[in-house]
Amino acid sequence: MNGRHTLRDKTAIVGVGATPYYRRGQSVPQTPMELAGKAVLAALDDAGLTVDDLDGFALYSMGFDTSLFAQWLGVPDVRFTAMLTGGGGGAAGSVGLASAAIVSGMAECVVSVMTLQQAGNRFGASYAPRGSGGAAYSAPPSPEGNFTQPSGLMGPGQMFAVLAQRHMHLYGTTREHFCEVAMSTRANAIRRAGSLMQEPLTREQYFEARMISDPLCLYDFCLECDGAVAVVTTSIERARDLRHPPAVVMASAHGGHGRWGQAITWMGMPDEYFASSGHRPVARRLYEMAGVGPQDVDVALLYDHFSPMVVMQLEDYGFCGIGEGGAFVGDGNIRWPDGSLPVNTHGGNLSEAYIIGMTHVMEAVEQVRGTAVNQVAGAEVALATGGPASIPTSALLLRKES
């Protein structure tokens, strides 16, 4: 792939901002738009910019009303708005949208933001009967649901449990490996004052926790919480004149294999795709655009809505062989600070906060800046991913400027 015709090294993330993270529903009486606004203003301030500099929005996972938000913020001239379809798979990809807008000349300064407030709703109630408590997200009846729901495939937890079971069957992956993901992630989170989870997690606690959807227990699930995170992207030339060293966008990719589709509700895929994170096509294009490989990545921020998906992403991004993710994790490779590839140094969706993946992008920026709480020594290149979920999944490679 010719770098002249890609995003490689042409843009950078220059500002990051976040609200406090709240237990589910405890951000009230703030509104989701207020939370988003606070995160955006914090990110602009971090960059040394103001609302007057902002001219674009790159969103994902349903987003929100950009016209109202721009008016509320006081953005003088909106030149670009875009949104990736799907759910949590778009976090890293939203920065790719921002970079594409800047490289094409459609915008100069673009914010990617995610806000989440679950005061009256829970993702676990998505498939509850309409009209029941907490069922505001409920989907209408569908032909697919008529087949999957009677089998107990009611929500993401049950659906990803099936993927995990298949991986265990094919490759000998065990719950011990999932436990290691949960424990190492928690160990990272408790060093950060803003994390929702502040107590260590032991092996005994993990295996004594209630089973929710075999093999996934309580600690294999991400947190439901409230908050907002924003990142600001601009051209590499402009980035060099701003407050912090630029987090250079080496590459961004999103999409996935057509056979993956809406994987959490379609159970008819071949094992090659089903017992995976669905990220392999994205990983190939990401590395090709950046001109690097997995051996060049110093820290990985892997979307961890469920702990087994970290194991599968390690395989799909080439850090170990297919089927070897469990052993890779079990050998301590993802632990900070001594593992060969520290993973989710911020605590991830499992233990810091679940803001649908945007915390992973923020941590990637802090790692290449050299300002992370759990800083990886000498980190030059950081990988952040969005998903696994239905298409699109996405990924982002950031680097420290030489």
Q: Which residues are catalytic?
A: 303, 354
Element (H, E) at 154: none
What is the spatial distance between Cα 76 and Cα 109, in angstroms, rounded to a whole number?
A: 13
Phi-psi category of 297—alpha, beta or left, where left has phi over 0 and alpha has psi -120 to 50?
Answer: beta
What is the spatial distance between Cα 217 and Cα 223, in angstroms, rounded to a whole number?
A: 13
Distance of CA 153 to the CA centre of its chain: 23
What is the spatial distance between Cα 72 and Cα 64, in angstroms, rounded to a whole number?
A: 13
Beta strands in 208-349 (DSSP E): 211-213, 216-217, 225-235, 247-255, 299-301
What is the spatial distance between Cα 153 and Cα 265, in angstroms, rounded to a whole number?
A: 8
What is the DSSP track for 345-394? TT-IIIII--STTHHHHHHHHHHHHT--TTPPTT--EEEEEE-SSSSPEE
Beta strands in 45-174 (DSSP E): 56-60, 80-84, 109-116
